[in-house]
Amino acid sequence: MRFDTLAIHAGQPPDPAYGAVMTPIYQTSTYAQKRIGEAEYDYARTANPTRTALQACIAALEGAKYGLAFASGMAAIDCVLRLLKPGDHVLASNDVYGGTYRILKRVYEAVGVEASFVEMSDLAAVEAALRPTTRLVWVETPTNPLLKIADIAALADVLGRRGAARPLLVVDNTFASPYLQQPLALGADLVVHSATKYLGGHSDVVNGLLALNDGELFAQLKFLQNAIGAVPAPLDCFLVLRGIKTLHVRMERHCANAQRIAEWLAAHPRVERVLYPGLPSHPQHAIACRQMRGFGGMISFVVRGGAEAARQVAERTRVFTLAESLGGVESLIEVPAAMTHLSVANSPLAVDPALIRLSVGIEDVEDLIADLDQALRY
């Protein structure tokens, strides 16, 4: 089946108990066992039917064999990082979500896992930054918040040349969603999602997902999912499943609205620079054209006038809500340096304080442009 059909049906046959068309919210912590050990489900941290449906759904959408669901995107990221031991090294994009930077530098470095950051679109720089101890290469594409694009297939080739010492290629696919980009087909080993964003799509749930093909790696991660226990509630799984049913329709509109707004911003006298992979001026526009079906709903731009100007604009919009997060049907605006990326302040990954990030929603684009127009007249 094709993507749009999978989004609605994958992992969700009518419920075997009563034929419910919508996957029921199995709000139970435990399950009756016929005899000791004789039960499909035994305890809800280990497995829950609503979660099973979501895990099957994300696997289908990413073209993966296996899916795993977590209480948040950070819990999914943490589960992957638990594969590492003291002395191991992670090579990550030099622009990542502030929380990803924070967990690498403040949580994992404290237990002896090293992290360094590189420009992932520069393959020679990536090759030079790999160490004998590199176990994971952690890629965001598009990155948060600078919308840089990395060539996943080219990175997989670089890593493939390392033979048995090949690190795992992990792609955080949150900004693209599986509708726009499928990293496993391009050679990635593991896909990470903050399903809080486009997959959920309605700013009403926090959730994280993994998708992968390797059976041994899946067994390790599934063990960790249960052993650590950062699992999502059944209601949260239901909400993500419901959100995913319209993912393909929403993404088309996010992309169309964002393209219009990016072009409009690029021509605005108060805007210094627009970062959007759909603009031919974007340095990796050609890679984005090759590896993505569309360019997504996220735009960042630098306003003339520095941090104060950025604050003014972000606080003056009326349709765009001033808020962290992204990927919902409603448009959001934020200043990463002061909000989502506070944890990279004073680091080499520090973000320009005049940078504004938009999560373009699916409202009427003329209303969105009118709103930005009045906000830019500060």
Footprint of ligand P1T (CB under 6 A): 72-74, 97, 99-100, 140, 144, 172, 174, 194, 196, 206, 208, 324-326, 340
Residue 26 a catalytic site member: no
Q: How far is CA 5 from CA 246, 339, 362, in A?
A: 10, 37, 21
Which residues on neighbouring strands pair with residue 68, listed in sequence order? 210
Taking the complex as a whole, how short is the minimal distance between the CB of residue 215 and ligand P1T, in angstroms? 25
Beta carbon nearer to ligand P1T, 144 or 257: 144
Taking the complex as a whole, how short is the minimal distance between the CB of residue 192 and ligand P1T, in angstroms? 7
Q: How far is CA 71 from CA 78, 213, 251, 285, 319, in A?
A: 11, 22, 24, 34, 30
Beta carbon nearer to ligand P1T, 1 or 235: 235
Taking the complex as a whole, how short is the minimal distance between the CB of residue 258 and ligand P1T, in angstroms? 16
Strand, helix or coil for residue 160: helix
Instruction: Give the tokens for residue 267.
Output: 């021509």
As separate numbers, helices (DSSP H) first and strands (DSSP E) second, the chain gives 13, 12
Beta carbon nearer to ligand P1T, 203 or 257: 203
CB count within 10 Å of CB 8 equals 15
CA–centroid distance for 277 within its chain: 16
Q: Which residue is nearest to ligand P1T (CB)?
A: 73
How much is the CA Rg of the chain, to the nearest whole Å?
21
CA 138 – CA 92 distance, rounded (Å):
4
CA 353 – CA 312 distance, rounded (Å):
12
Beta carbon nearer to ligand P1T, 39 or 77: 77
Name the catalytic one among 4, 15, 42, 45. 45
Name the catalytic one among 51, 197, 250, 311. 197
Beta carbon nearer to ligand P1T, 342 or 370: 342
Strand segments, DSSP code E, in the chain are 66-70, 89-93, 114-118, 134-140, 168-172, 190-194, 208-212, 271-275, 298-303, 321-322, 332-334, 355-359
CA 125 – CA 127 distance, rounded (Å):
5
Residue 4 a catalytic site member: no
Residue 148 a catalytic site member: no
Q: For 83, what's the count of Cα atoms within 13 Å in the CB-facing half-sphere?
A: 22
Name the catalytic one among 78, 95, 172, 189. 172
CA 373 – CA 260 distance, rounded (Å):
13
Beta carbon nearer to ligand P1T, 52 or 203: 203
The residues carrying an active-site annotation are 45, 97, 172, 197
